[in-house]
Each structure stands twice: as C-alpha cells, then as structure tokens.
Structure 1
Amino acid sequence: MTAQLHPERFLPQRLSPGRLAPYQAAAGSRRAAVDLYRWNITASAAVYEGLHLLEVVLRNAIHDQLVLWHQSTGASGSWMNDRARILEDRARKDIATARTRIRRPSPTEGHAVAELTFGFWRYLLARRYQDNLWRLALRHAFPHLQPQTRSEVEKPVIRLHILRNRIAHLEPVHRRELLDDRQDILTVLGYICPDTRDWYQAGCRIPDIVKDRPRTR
C-alpha cells in the first residue's frame, strides 16, 4: 500500500520558501499553496501550447512575405543579408547570432528562421518599420486583418511575447486573465489563417483549466 504523500511538508523546501510564499499568500495555507502551484504548472503548459503554435505560424508568415519581397527586388541572396540596410542594428545582430547557433552541415535559411527568437519577429512589427517592411511586405502576412492596421497586430503580439517570457522564466500566471491571453492567440492566428485558428481553438485546454482554478484571496 502506497503511503499518503503530504507535499506541503516537503515541497516548501524543494521549491524554496520564498518561491512558494506568493502562492501561500494568494491561497491562504501551505496545502492550498501547493495545490495552486500544481494548477499554475498545468495552466502554464496549456498556455504554452498556444504560444508554441503562434510563434511558429507567425515567424513563417513573416518570413514567407520577406522572401517574396526580396525576390521582387531582384536582389540575390537572402532578405536576411539586408543589403538595403532596412533592419536596425539589433535585428542584424540577432540574425548573425541565429546563424552561429546552427549546427548542421548544410544550413538553410529555414534553419536560421528557427533560431530567431520570438522577440525578433515582434520587433519587425514595430512602428519604425511602418513605411518600409510593413507597407512593402509584412502586411501581406496577415491577409485576414481588415483594415490592415499594423498596430492591431503589434499590440497582441507584444502581450504574448511578454507572456511567453513570463512562462519561460517559470513565473506565476494564476492571477492572469488566461481567457484574454487565449483570445490574443486566437486573434493573431485568425489574422494569418482562420483555419489554423479554428484548429487550435478546437483543442485548446485553457477554458477547462480556468474552470478548475483553485480559489484564491
């Protein structure tokens, strides 16, 4: 017979009292804090599923349009070479860093795309690129955004980038309105491809997990 576990006895030390303290303050007791911590892990995982899909779909949509735009200029090589010097120094450094991370005998442009961070793609949607990259190429990555207002994409992408970093650093999400975060994911996916949005929505676990959120103060 398996002995009953009492996680409130050993987890505070394993997680550190300081890490568990905010959960206990929210939940009211050590045992409730452990339950809230477990829920927070589950919720973070569910949200990250959507962030995973969004990041891949977003970067591919942007990359595809930059490839088409680059080809239309008649220039050789890749848009990442930025011979027109449109990209800011930070973006060019990000590309150089991404290329150094590739550990393949015959690296492709797609390998570099996969190494670029969510932040790189987020900043391509910034106002500084309104009159060049957005007008010439990036607006076409969001064919279902009408009217094609750049800020309507940038705002939810900024929020999702912040959320992604929060989850990646194992920070609490139990006080967030996770249904709003889900809506941001759905919104951006819908601007790119409504079919992909609907596919994600059909399997999204966030609403059910939110219903099971432990009570907090």
Structure 2
Amino acid sequence: MPVPRSGRARAAFGGCPGAAGVVILPDSTKAFVPCSGGHQVMVIALAQSDAHPAEPDRLETLMDVGRAPVQLALKPDGGEIFASNSLSDSVSEIYDSSDEVGDTYLIGNQPVFGLVSRDNLLYVANEHSQEVTVYSIDDGKRIGSIHVGDGPAALAFSAAGHLLFVADSRSGDVAVVRTADLNRVAFTLLPAGRNPNAIVDKAFKLP
C-alpha cells in the first residue's frame, strides 16, 4: 500500500502483544500479524485506494493458534499461511481467504521460522535443536529433518530454489542444503560471525 503523503501512520491497532513480522497478501487486501506475546494472529483488512467511498483499515479478527507465534510463512501461490508457534513446538495452518485456522502440527523443538518451497514443502527452523523439519503440505505429514548447525533461526532459498540457506544463531554459521537431494543434508557450513539471526538472498545478478 502507498505511504500517506502526510508521512503519518495511517492506522494503529492494539490487542496484539509482541506483534512481530507482518505478512501482507499479494493483492494487498489483508495483513496478518503474529502476536508473539500471546497465542493469536491478528488479521487486518487493508483499505483499498480505489474504494468508493473510501474506507479505513479495520481489524477483521483475532485467530487462536499455538503459544508464542513468532513468524508467519505464506505459500508462494497464496491460500495458506503457517504460523510458527515457538512455545507449543508446532505450526498452525491458516486459510487466508476465510480467516480460519485449520490443523496444528507438532513440528520440532521451538520452531521460530518457516519457509514454503515452490513444490509445497514447508521448511521449519527449530531453534532449540540442530534441525530443520520438512513437512509436506500436499500430503499433510512430516517427511524428514535436516541436520544443520546449532540454533537454526532463519531460512532463505536461493533465487532458483535449488539451495536452502539456514542461519544458525548459536554456532555462528550458515548451513547450505541442496533441496533436490532426497537425503537433504547440509553439504557445507559457512562462518557468519556471532549470532546470525536473519538471512536474505539477492534476487538479481550483477552484470
């Protein structure tokens, strides 16, 4: 959504303790906010600039998920969002069109970051372990785990999706995994300094 010309916040909503990273749907109709200090995800209906008459952003609902949802992962093709419930050792499936919570799955020891691949696999970093869990969304089951460094805290795919990068906060490295490898093992660990807790992949190449 465009920033108001006044430079002021266009809306503010309470009731979401520990509000963390926001997920906005590709069509900019809704924003989903994990309330990491509680057990809910806030849904905000976003005002559309071409609406007549103009309408403000509004709170749509608060959905109950697991304890301490710290991050949300949106499927690349939309439709579903997965909340990492860090203190419930689970992920909750959210249907973004109906604002309903589907199933909740036990996934690992303190899940803190999820990422969905193009082939509908959900990768989840479990910070109190040395594992990234792999869950098949289409089959509705956990299909394996990847041994990485200590304290996996964030994930990113390469631009082509062939590599998964895992920032390991306690061991201070980045694990690199070939996603096409059926064994899904980290083939290298790259030193990254102290406490790496975020990672992004450059989406373009320099000439």
Q: Taking structure 2 as the reference length, what is the TM-score of the superposition?
A: 0.22
Larger Rg: 1
Higher RCO (CA-CA < 8 Å; seq separation 6+): 1
Higher strand fraction: Structure 1 or Structure 2?
A: 2
TM-score by length of 1: 0.22
Q: Quick check: which one's helix share is greater? A: 1
